[in-house]
Amino acid sequence: MPKERRLSQRKEAILRALIEQYTQTGEPVPSKQLSDQLAAIYGAGYASATVRNELVALEDEGLIYQPHISAGRIPTDLGYRYFVERLMGESRLPLEEQRLIRHQFFQVQHQLDEWVRLTASVMARLLQSAAIVTPPRGLQPRLKHFALLALNEAVALLVLVLSDGTVRQERLLLDEPAAQDELSRVAEHFNDRFRGATADAVTAHASLEGEFYSTNERIVAESLARMLEQLDVFAPGAFYSEGISQLLRREEYAHADSDRIRRVVEVLERSQFLPTIAPQVMAAEGVQVIIGAENEPEILKDMSVVAARYGTPGQSSGMVGIVGPTRMQYGRAIAVVRYMTQMLDDLLTELHTPDEHDWEGKHG
């Protein structure tokens, strides 16, 4: 059905009622049930014979189908698409749920990794489906600050924080014993020099002034450069997922064979579908809905993905998404995804500070 073509007002009312009823029950919807429901709402114009005729027309349009001759009707992917684009009203999360979510975020550490994990957990719980969240990626990782902690005389822990809030840590084997006072001095010195720097900038500076470094300072500088460089490489497997077991407990998968369950789990756990949807989601504004056969992996042809980009323009961005059966509450899924992207946008804004590009100002 061409996107610009509109159904009549009556057909739209019937299709909306059918999809809403099927979403709730998972059972094919009989024409008599639709007729009674719509007549109670709208009055005349929805007699049983009229509704049956309109259902046949909707079936001819490819928006619904009848699983077998004696059954009611259920929506097709095209029917869901029409519903999402034309019939679904604006949906917002209840204020009580919004307050609960914000409270949960305020309870965790002020770290990006914790926020991303919590986002996946909250979405999976609210929608009883699989949630996928990718950490935000900037054009180039930049150092915000780092700390050196003495573990013993010859081993230190380097804790690195990027300007987008990403936290990484690594053990360093020192050439010379160093107490905490000395390590703190080195960290303070390098933080002043390298705040806002990229891997290339740290490497270039170390090559120019490395001859003046102590042995331990050289180890720290090389480690900083290496960690920043590793973070600069996009890792397709870098994502957080939650709720796969909750998804598989839904009625749609209760009687699925073990091979199908295994393949679904494999695709979701490895997030193999991300490369196929990421370009569309990351390039678009707002929440994107990918329904059934619009998904690239064959195993997801009876599932839908609701996803959106989050982040700070020009700094870093990631993606949040929910994967569930095509028989999902699209309005609620869109509301959850939209709210979580707004939440992450706000949190990322707090993380980005004016000193992000200090290196360029001081050393450019």
Please write the tens of the pLDDT for every residue from 70-100: 889 999 999 999 999 999 988 899 999 999 9
Confidence of residue 331 (pLDDT cuts 50, 70, 90): very high
Domains and CATH numbers, the chain: 9-87 (1.10.10.10), 95-138+236-351 (3.30.450.40), 143-231 (3.30.390.60)
Beta bridge mates, 324: 304
350 SS3 class: helix
Confidence of residue 313 (pLDDT cuts 50, 70, 90): low
How far is the C-alpha of 8 from the C-alpha of 19, rounded, in Å? 16
- Class of residue 237 by CB neighbours under 10 A (exposed 0-12, middle 13-18, buried 19+): exposed
Span 342-357, average pLDDT: 73
- CA-to-CA separations, 240 to 2, 273, 342, in angstroms, rounded: 37, 14, 18
pLDDT(129) > 70: yes
Confidence of residue 352 (pLDDT cuts 50, 70, 90): low
Element (H, E) at 169: strand 167-173
Q: What is the pLDDT of residue 276?
A: 80
- Mean pLDDT, the chain, whole residue set: 87
pLDDT in tens, 22-71: 999 999 999 999 999 999 988 888 999 999 999 999 999 999 999 988 88
DSSP track, 258-277: HHHHHHHHHHHHTTTTHHHH
Cα-to-chain-centroid distance, residue 85: 21
Question: Which of the two residues, 139 and 230, has the higher pLDDT score?
Answer: 230
